[in-house]
């Protein structure tokens, strides 16, 4: 978005036009564009407000009702912290006794909103001029929050007792995977803990353990089963060094699993055992944090094969850290053998889960020639080294599973 488009959006006409729009509906977008232009509104302004309408609709999944009154950029929305995760971030600072936090690389202000909502004074620092302007608008409801358009590493940290940093992990060419290529680079951000010990840094969930300093607590976070980030916490924000997984369900309930005592130690391997009555799929945050062996002990389970993150055990155990399945049958895997098995049982709808087997689920469905009115779930994996198909039935979690 150019400077002129931003100026027009923030003028009374643009602001009123944006406020007048109904909730976004894809089927109505073209008609709405035409009707606004027919009413005499400038085409560029119409395009700008309709873009905001669409971004607000997409942002609801991350930011809930707050999204209805916020302004967004495409890049800013992609990197914005989900509000339920930002609330966990903010609570760390509150529990650590922080009263004034610098939010470096604040983007559109999601983490600043969560901090300010807990009564913590927060200064968001954002280098991109348009993003900083939007963050200023987004933080207007909070008198204890402000935004500075400037460089994160040049910001004066005196007077702050907490720092949160969210380095950019995207360029015009796409995602950045090397922490040295973050903006600012991750090692430069780690240096800030010598100035303000209460430092938190949001990083990509694919970060390698070798990039983790010995004094950090690294926590991988999943929301509704999707791994969304890893957070590195220092000083009073870290209870102890190590690695953990934070699992947040669709209702916003959460549970944490400690996975390793040292952040940089290799993931412990769980023992391998034969397939038993129940199969467990660990949450992705647990896998990323190297906690499969820890979870196996909790479940009284073993892994189904070396380096495969499916667990199996004799008893049904409810856990927030894994999805449970009852094993109905299993057979050596081949397309022909599986096709015959499913055809004999009238399976026409098939959920395919896989790990350790090189298949493309949609392509496999076409090869299987499914026919029938029944449905099933198949797990394609290795059982003690052998490629296998496991027919399972999902066990629905009961109430209170986040306390397990």
Query: Closest Cα partner for 145 from 136, 154, 153?
Result: 136
Question: For 56-60, 168-172, 248-252, 380-384, which range has the lowest pLDDT when averaged over its residues?
Answer: 168-172
Pick the CATH number of 278-403 from 3.40.1130, 3.40.50, 1.10.3470, 3.30.2130: 3.30.2130
Q: Is the pLDDT of residue 377 over 70?
A: yes
* pLDDT of 191 higher than 90: yes
Indicate whether 399 pLDDT > 60: no
**What band does 181 get if pLDDT is binned at 50, 70 and 90?**
confident
Nearest partner of 356 among 388, 328, 324, 378, judged by Cα: 388
* pLDDT at position 297 over 60: yes
Residue with the larger pLDDT of the pair 246 and 183 = 246
Do the domains 278-403 and 77-260 match in fold? no
Q: How confident is the model at residue 151 (pLDDT cuts 50, 70, 90)?
A: very high
How far is Cα 218 from Cα 226, in angstroms, rounded to an integer?
17
Task: Return the percentage of the chain with pLDDT > 70, whole number.
Answer: 96
Out of 64-73, 170-179, 324-333, the most confident range is: 324-333
Instruction: With a cut of 60, say whether residue 403 has pLDDT above it.
Output: no
Residue 375: predicted pLDDT:
96
What is the arithmetic mean of pLDDT over 381-404? 80
Picking from 44-53, 117-126, 157-166, which range would have the lowest pLDDT averaged per residue? Answer: 44-53
Q: How far apart are CA 103 and CA 241, in angstroms?
A: 23
Model pLDDT, residue 390: 98
Neighbours of 120 (CB within 10 A): 20
Predicted confidence at residue 398, as pLDDT, reads: 47
- 139: DSSP letter: T
- 244 contacts 283 by C-beta, under 8 angstroms: no
Q: Is the pLDDT of residue 98 over 70?
A: yes
pLDDT-wise least confident of 39-43, 230-234, 255-259, 334-338: 39-43
Per-residue pLDDT averaged across 301-306, rounded? 96
The reported pLDDT for the residue numbered 3 is 66
Chain-wide mean pLDDT for the chain?
93
> What pLDDT, on the 0 to 100 scale, is given for residue 401?
54
Q: Residue 393 has what pLDDT?
A: 97
Average pLDDT over residues 315-343: 96
Per residue in 209-252, pLDDT tens?
Answer: 999 999 999 999 999 999 999 999 999 999 899 999 999 998 99
- For 266, counting Cβ atoms within 10 Å of its Cβ (0-12 exposed, 13-18 middle, 19+ buried), the class is exposed
pLDDT at 40 over 70: yes
DSSP-assigned beta bridge partners for residue 219 = 231, 244
Within 8 A by CB and 6+ apart from 248, the residues are 84, 85, 88, 221, 222, 223, 224, 254
pLDDT value, residue 172: 65
What are residue 402's phi and psi, to 5 degrees?
Answer: -70, -10
pLDDT in tens, 339-376: 999 999 999 999 999 999 999 999 999 999 999 999 99
CATH node for 77-260? 3.40.50.150
pLDDT of 176? 77
Q: Where are the domains of the chain?
A: 3-72, 77-260, 278-403
pLDDT of 400: 43
pTM of the model: 0.91
Cα dihedral 231, 232, 234, 240 sign: positive
Residue 397 has pLDDT above 80, yes or no: no
The alpha carbon torsion through 12, 15, 21, 23 (nearest 10 deg) reads -160
* 13 has a pLDDT exceeding 90: no
Contact 283, 217 (CB under 8 A): no
Residues 166 and 186: their CA atoms lie apart, in Å, by 10
């Amino acid at each position: 978005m150019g400077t002129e488009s931003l100026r027009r959006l923030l003028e009374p006409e643009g602001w009123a036009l944006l406020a007048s729009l109904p909730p976004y509906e894809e089927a109505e977008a073209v008609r709405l564009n035409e009707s606004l232009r027919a009413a005499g509104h400038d085409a560029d302004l119409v395009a700008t407000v309709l873009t905001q309408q669409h971004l607000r609709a997409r942002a609801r999944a991350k930011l809930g009702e707050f999204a209805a009154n916020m302004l967004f950029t495409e890049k800013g929305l992609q990197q914005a912290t989900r509000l339920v995760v930002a609330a966990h971030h903010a609570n760390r600072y509150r529990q650590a006794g922080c009263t004034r936090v610098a939010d470096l690389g604040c983007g559109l202000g999601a983490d600043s909103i969560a901090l300010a909502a807990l009564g913590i004074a927060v200064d968001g620092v954002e280098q991109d001029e348009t993003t900083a302007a939007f963050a200023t608008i987004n933080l207007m409801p909070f008198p204890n929050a402000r935004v500075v358009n400037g460089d994160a590493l040049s910001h004066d940290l005196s007077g702050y007792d907490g720092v949160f940093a969210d380095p950019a992990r995207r360029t015009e060419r796409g995602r950045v995977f090397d922490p040295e290529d973050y903006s600012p680079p991750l090692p430069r951000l780690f240096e800030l803990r010598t100035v303000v010990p209460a430092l938190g840094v949001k990083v990509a969930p694919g970060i390698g353990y070798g990039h983790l300093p010995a004094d950090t607590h690294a926590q991988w976070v999943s929301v509704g089963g999707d791994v969304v980030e890893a957070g590195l916490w220092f000083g009073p924000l870290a209870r102890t060094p190590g690695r953990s997984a934070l699992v947040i369900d669709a209702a916003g309930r959460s549970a944490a699993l400690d996975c390793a005592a040292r952040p940089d130690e290799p993931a412990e391997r769980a023992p391998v055992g034969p397939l038993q009555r129940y199969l467990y799929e660990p949450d992705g945050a647990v896998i990323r944090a190297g906690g499969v062996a820890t979870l196996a002990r909790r479940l009284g389970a073993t892994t189904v094969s070396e380096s495969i993150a499916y667990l199996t055990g004799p008893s049904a155990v409810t856990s927030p850290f894994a999805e449970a399945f009852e094993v109905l049958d299993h057979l050596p895997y081949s397309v022909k053998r599986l096709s015959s098995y499913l055809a004999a049982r009238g399976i026409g709808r098939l959920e395919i889960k896989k790990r350790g087997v090189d298949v493309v689920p949609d392509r496999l469905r076409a090869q299987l020639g499914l026919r029938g009115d029944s449905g099933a779930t198949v797990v394609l994996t290795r059982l003690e080294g052998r490629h296998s198909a496991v027919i399972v039935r999902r066990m629905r979690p009961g109430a209170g599973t986040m306390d397990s």
